[in-house]
Homo-oligomer: A and B are copies of this chain.
Amino acid sequence: MNRTTPAKRTTIYDLAELAGTSASAVSAVLNGNWKKRRISAKLAEKITKLAEEQGYALNMQASVLRRERSKIIGMIVPKYDNRYFGSIVEQFEALARARGLFPIITCTMRDPALELEAARAMLSYQVDCLVATGATDPDRVMDLCAAAGVRTINLDLPGSRAPSVISDNYGGALELTRRVLANCEREYGAKAPLLFIGGRGTDHNTMERVRGFRDAHAEAGVPVDEALVQTCGYAPEKAENAMRQLAERTSNLPRGMFVNSTISLEGVMRWIRRSGHYAERMPHLGCFDWDPFVAMLGDHIEMVRQDVPKMLEAVFGIIDSGATDITVVQVPPIMEKIG
CB 8 Å contact bits of A301-322 with B (1 = contact, 0 = none): 0000000000000000000000
A3–B293 alpha-carbon span in the complex (Å): 50
Given A81-B86, A90-B107, A293-B294, A55 contacting B147 (CB threshold 8 A) = yes
Given A79-B90, A146-B1, A59 contacting B7 (CB threshold 8 A) = no
Q: Which of A227-282 contact B (CB under 8 A)?
A: 236, 262, 266, 269-270, 273
Q: Which of A96-124 contact B (CB under 8 A)?
A: 102-107, 109, 120-121, 123-124
A296–B62 alpha-carbon span in the complex (Å): 52
Contact between A107 and B123, CB atoms less than 8 A apart: no
Contact between B90 and A60, CB atoms less than 8 A apart: no
Contacts of A62 in B (CB 8 A): 61, 65
A291 CB-CB contact with B under 8 Å: yes
Contacts of A65 in B (CB 8 A): 59, 61-62, 65
A57 CB-CB contact with B under 8 Å: yes
A293–B295 alpha-carbon span in the complex (Å): 10
A298–B58 alpha-carbon span in the complex (Å): 53
A80 CB-CB contact with B under 8 Å: yes
- Stoichiometry, copies per complex: 2
CB 8 Å contact bits of A114-148 with B (1 = contact, 0 = none): 00000011011110000000000000000010111
Question: Which A residues lie at the B interface, using CB under 8 A?
Answer: 1, 3, 6-9, 55, 57-62, 64-65, 70, 79-83, 85-87, 89-90, 93-94, 102-107, 109, 120-121, 123-126, 144, 146-149, 161, 236, 262, 266, 269-270, 273, 291-294, 296-297, 339
Contacts of A121 in B (CB 8 A): 102
6 new A-B contacts at CB < 8 Å, known A60-B125, A61-B70: A3-B146, A55-B144, A57-B120, A61-B65, A93-B107, A105-B105
A123–B9 alpha-carbon span in the complex (Å): 10
Of B81, B270, B291, B339, the residue contacting A90 (CB under 8 A) is B81
A324–B135 alpha-carbon span in the complex (Å): 39
Contact between B80 and A90, CB atoms less than 8 A apart: yes
Of B60, B90, B126, B273, the residue contacting A296 (CB under 8 A) is B273
24 contacts between A and B (CB under 8 A): A3-B149, A7-B148, A8-B149, A9-B148, A9-B149, A55-B147, A55-B148, A57-B148, A60-B61, A60-B125, A61-B70, A61-B125, A62-B65, A65-B65, A80-B80, A80-B90, A81-B86, A90-B109, A102-B125, A236-B292, A262-B293, A270-B296, A293-B294, A296-B297
A266–B236 alpha-carbon span in the complex (Å): 22
Closest to A103 in B: B106
| Residue of A1, A70, A86 with highest tally of chain B CB at under 10 A | A86
A291–B294 alpha-carbon span in the complex (Å): 11
